[in-house]
Structure 1
Amino acid sequence: MRTTAVSVAMVMACVMMVQASVKPQKDFNVQKFAGKWYRVGFAYDSPGFVPLRDKIKISMGVITPLPNGNVNLTMWEALPVGCVTQFYKYDKASVPGQFTYFSTRHNMVKDITVVDTNYSEYALVIKHKVFNREYTQVALYGRSQRLRTDVVQKFKALSLSRGFPRESILTPPPADNCPPSGSGR
């Protein structure tokens, strides 16, 4: 029993250290962050993700701020079964630029931090969760599907600094007709 308590305490301490080391965009403004974003890059090293790497395409999402500071995200993603629409509700945390959401897929709360954005061109976002081990994702979002080389390099440098191997860092190709014409674009 004591070993379990010590293990839980160690996991919680690690989570708090990781979250503390991830700083959100200074003076984050959710209203400026609202609108259409394309996920044009991401780093993820989950073993279950490896067979899917070559099937990933650029996805598109729309951020809608709510009056209470939370945001809704509608996301369109090209999957082998077709273009899938997903809806997320991100709850604001006590620090602007940080959010949490409940993942129905993993049945747990995940942390989202907008670490860098210029609002008009790109955003770097870190997603963190603890699920039988620690998982982190780094994502690069753009207001368009093509970003300047220096922005892509900034994303890759952040991913490498978070411990991702080069082969875990993706910049996928565009998706064909996802979202379908007339929905969200």
Structure 2
Amino acid sequence: MGSASEDRAAVGRRDRDEEGRARNARPRDGLGRPLPYGEHGVDRQPEGVVRRPEETVAEAQALLDAGKPFHAHEVFEDAWKAGPEEERALWRGLAQLAVGLTHAARGNVTGGARLLRRGAGAIEEWTGVRPRTRSYGMDLAGVVVWARELAAEVEREASAVDAGARAPRLSGRAVGG
């Protein structure tokens, strides 16, 4: 993260990376919401990291358990973008679930429920059809159930959820704490 003066200088102009793509250097909280320049935020996940699938699952689970689904989404996004073509839908679906949990934790009922269901639909295609070795030890059927139940709860309660307490268990038990 840059100095406070660099952060203030960024106000009023769009942050860009070396290729000219938009990038926002503002600090963020644990749910990925931008904070004012100069405030201390949560360290961001490095982008473009190539991990083995098992490392992706472990790192994302640790972030989910810590109540940081926005950051877990970035880990899944790396796998989605860097992984084999035939697995991209799986990782994209997991990223959608993490974003859905992020929105649900922020109190965005509609967006949270919609992304949880969209991610569940994408992952459901991997349950029972794909070889077990391609699920990397994840309980995908359980994760689908978790996502659909949470989507229904978010709509019914119409209030923010605790991201850490409601994090999915990617392996074994599908619903957190």
TM-score under structure 1 length normalisation = 0.29
Q: Which has the higher contact order (CA 8 A, sep 6+)?
A: 1
Which structure features the higher share of strand residues?
1
